């Protein structure tokens, strides 16, 4: 449950209320064909469980942050969720890379949503210096969101550092790197390069079964195509809007609708 809640805090999704052992659906991410990916939920982050058990499921209020930080910070609605300092203290006490990856990503996101950009940035700088974190599967599971949060703080150099050194160990790592590289290309203004990278990431997440990251990749693809005034932007944006609507990701859905209006106007 600890790992499930931490990832839910990162993604803004609603975790299952059932214990992870009661049903495969309670896994914090889908199965993949890799043995390395299938092990990441087993026996890890137990030191976070005592802090996380009392927290109710957060609401599904995720927003898409473009690399340029055009949208508002997320406003999560989990008033009784573990505070950022609780998550951080537990991670630091454990000293485990996987606890750092989960807790620091979740805490940075919470702090950004609360408007504490300076502290959120400081946490990501600290995470960048944690030895061994980039080799952990939890880091890979959070990487795309980690990059989104860092770019929302307008720290592209730090985002690049957080991606640097992550190797394609398993399909999960490959998918996370695909999304991250697309985001970094977009923030660099390379829309023509970023659009196909996002398309590749969306297809990877589709096959992997990660709906939120697939939706964000489609949004990124449409955003980059729209920046080039290409009519092809409509298809990925329509698909992203359907996915965000089905998950209740209202801020991301609002950005997608705004881009769809822009794409429709450009087609006239």
CATH at residue 242: 1.25.40.10
Same domain, 199 and 138: no
Last residue of a domain, one of 166, 197, 217: 166
Instruction: Look at residue 218 and tell me if it is in a domain.
Output: yes
For residue 182, the enclosing domain spans 172-268
Last residue of a domain, one of 138, 166, 194: 166
Instruction: Look at residue 37 and tell me if it is in a domain.
Output: no
Q: How many whole angstroms separate alpha carbon 36 and alpha carbon 4? A: 18
Same domain, 216 and 234: yes
Where do runs of H (alpha helix) occur along 24-165?
35-38, 49-52, 84-94, 97-113, 117-128, 137-152, 156-163
Q: pTM higher than 0.85 for the full model? A: no
Q: In this structure, are residues 175 and 208 in contact, taking their beta carbons and an 8 Å threshold?
A: yes
Same domain, 2 and 83: yes
Token look-up 């801020």 returns: 251
Same domain, 254 and 208: yes
Same domain, 201 and 151: no
For the chain, what is the domain count?
2
Same domain, 134 and 214: no
Same domain, 87 and 194: no
Q: In this structure, are residues 263 and 231 in contact, taking their beta carbons and an 8 Å threshold?
A: yes
Same domain, 154 and 181: no
Report residue 148 as tokens. 């989104």
Q: How many whole angstroms separate alpha carbon 202 and alpha carbon 206? A: 6
Q: Per-residue confidence of the chain (268 residues) as pLDDT tens digits?
A: 344 545 555 555 443 333 333 333 333 333 344 444 544 443 444 444 334 333 333 333 333 334 433 333 344 444 445 567 777 888 888 877 778 888 888 899 889 988 999 999 999 999 999 888 999 999 999 999 999 999 999 999 999 999 999 999 999 999 999 999 999 999 999 999 999 999 999 999 999 999 999 999 999 999 999 999 999 999 999 999 999 999 999 989 999 999 998 765 555 4
Q: In this structure, are residues 113 and 73 in contact, taking their beta carbons and an 8 Å threshold?
A: yes
Q: How many whole angstroms separate alpha carbon 260 and alpha carbon 177? A: 27
Same domain, 190 and 82: no
Q: How far is CA 118 from the centre of its chain?
A: 20
Residue 207: exposed, middle, or buried by beta-carbon count in 10 A (0-12, 13-18, 19+)?
Answer: middle
Q: How many whole angstroms separate alpha carbon 24 and alpha carbon 73? A: 32
Last residue of a domain, one of 105, 131, 166: 166
Report residue 257 as tokens. 């609708």
Instruction: Look at residue 79 and tell me if it is in a domain.
Output: yes
Q: How many whole angstroms separate alpha carbon 61 and alpha carbon 63? A: 7
For 65, which DSSP code? -
For 14, which DSSP code? -
Same domain, 60 and 157: yes
Same domain, 93 and 207: no
Find, among 163, 228, 208, 161, the residue nearest to 30 by Cα: 208
């Amino acid at each position: 449950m600890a790992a499930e809640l931490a990832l839910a805090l990162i993604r803004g999704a609603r975790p299952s209320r059932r214990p992870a052992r009661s049903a495969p659906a309670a896994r914090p991410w889908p199965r993949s064909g890799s043995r390395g990916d299938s092990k990441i939920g087993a026996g890890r982050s137990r030191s976070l469980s005592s802090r996380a058990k009392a927290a109710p499921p957060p609401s599904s209020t995720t927003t898409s942050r473009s690399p340029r930080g055009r949208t508002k910070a997320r406003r999560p609605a989990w008033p009784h969720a573990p505070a950022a300092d609780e998550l951080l203290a537990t991670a630091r006490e454990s000293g485990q890379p996987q606890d750092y990856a989960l807790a620091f990503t979740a805490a940075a996101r919470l702090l950004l949503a609360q408007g504490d950009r300076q502290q959120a940035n400081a946490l990501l700088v600290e995470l960048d210096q944690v030895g061994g974190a980039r080799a952990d599967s939890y880091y890979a599971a959070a990487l795309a969101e980690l990059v989104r949060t860092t770019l929302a703080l307008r720290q592209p150099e730090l985002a690049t550092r957080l991606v640097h050194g992550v190797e394609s160990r398993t399909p999960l790592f490959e998918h996370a790197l695909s999304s991250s590289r697309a985001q970094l290309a977009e923030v660099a203004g390379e829309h023509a390069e970023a659009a196909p990278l996002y398309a590749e990431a969306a297809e990877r997440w589709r096959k992997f079964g990660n709906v939120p990251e697939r939706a964000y990749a489609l949004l990124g693809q449409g955003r980059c195509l729209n920046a080039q005034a290409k009519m092809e932007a409509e298809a990925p944006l329509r698909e992203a809007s359907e996915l965000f609507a089905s998950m209740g990701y209202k801020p991301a859905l609002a950005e997608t609708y705004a881009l769809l209006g822009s794409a429709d106007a450009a087609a006239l």
